[in-house]
Structure 1
Amino acid sequence: MDRDGFNAFCARFPAAEHVVQWGNSDVWKAGGKLFAVCGWAEGRDAFTFKAGEIAFEVLQERPGVRPAPYLASRGMKWLQQFDNNGLTDTELKEQISLSYQMVTAKLSKKKRVELGIPDPQPAER
């Protein structure tokens, strides 16, 4: 995935807000809460997203994926794909979608309704 594809994908989420900050990073938020970032790492695009407990442990073992600088160092479960050999585009999109869901699930029901964000889906058993 490249930066344009990342931005197009993130823009599809209800109430997604785009800002450019942190030295020309594309930052995506919903309800004021961060769910994805595209910035630079070692001269190429790097994609950062929130991860669940298991995904955080498993995916950081993959080549090209690491705990996200700054965010993970503060105990948060965020990962960064910094090299193309990390996740496939499909896997990256799935992780960004899950990040969005985790972030928006923490918003109040009133805020989700106000922003047109669907209620969180129950986890499959």
Structure 2
Amino acid sequence: MTPAELEKAALALPGAELSIKWGDDRRYVVAGKMFAATDGASTNLSMKMTDIAFETLTETARARPAPYMARAKWVMFNDVSGLDATEVEGWLKTAHELVAAKLPKKQRASLGLGV
């Protein structure tokens, strides 16, 4: 997956925005809540996962627990270019849904996320 494909997939999600923080790190957020992040060059990728996906990806060494965020079931992939675009798009969608599900009903509705 290229950095451009990653950005396009993340920003295609309802209410998703790009936020640059911590120097040049790229954070993908919904209502200000982060669901994925990359370094400035978009070489690595961290994102929220379901409990099962977190265990599977870290146990098989496809990803590692994300620094500072592993307790919240975030993983880190060290090489975005080696990832399958379709698979990443699915993970981004799930990460977005997990974070958006914790938003208040009114906020989800205003972002077109359903209730």
TM-score range, shorter chain: 0.7 to 0.9
**Residue equivalent to 1:7:** 7
**Residue equivalent to 1:109:** 105
| Residues 1-125 of structure 1: pairs in structure 2 closer than 5 A | 1-39=1-39, 45-72=43-70, 75-83=71-79, 87-119=83-115
Name the SS of the counterpart of 2:19 in structure 1: strand
Cα distance, 1:118 vs. partner? 2.6
What whole-Å deviation, never above 9, does each CA across 1:54-106 have from its counterpart, x for those lacking one?
Answer: 1110011334411111211xx21001111358642221111111000011011
Cα distance, 1:19 vs. partner? 0.9
Structure 2 unmatched runs, 5+: none
Count of residues in Structure 1 that have an aligned counterpart in Structure 2: 115
Cα distance, 1:2 vs. partner? 2.0
One-letter identity of the residue aligned with 1:83? D
One-letter identity of the residue aligned with 2:34? L
Distance 1:116 1:39 in 2: 29
C-alpha RMSD over aligned residues: 2.0
Larger helix share, 1 or 2: 2
Structure 1 unmatched runs, 5+: 120-125
Distance 1:54 1:118 in 2: 25
Larger Rg: 1
State the percentage of identical aligned residues. Answer: 34
Alignment TM-score, normalising by the size of structure 2: 0.88
**Residue equivalent to 1:122:** none
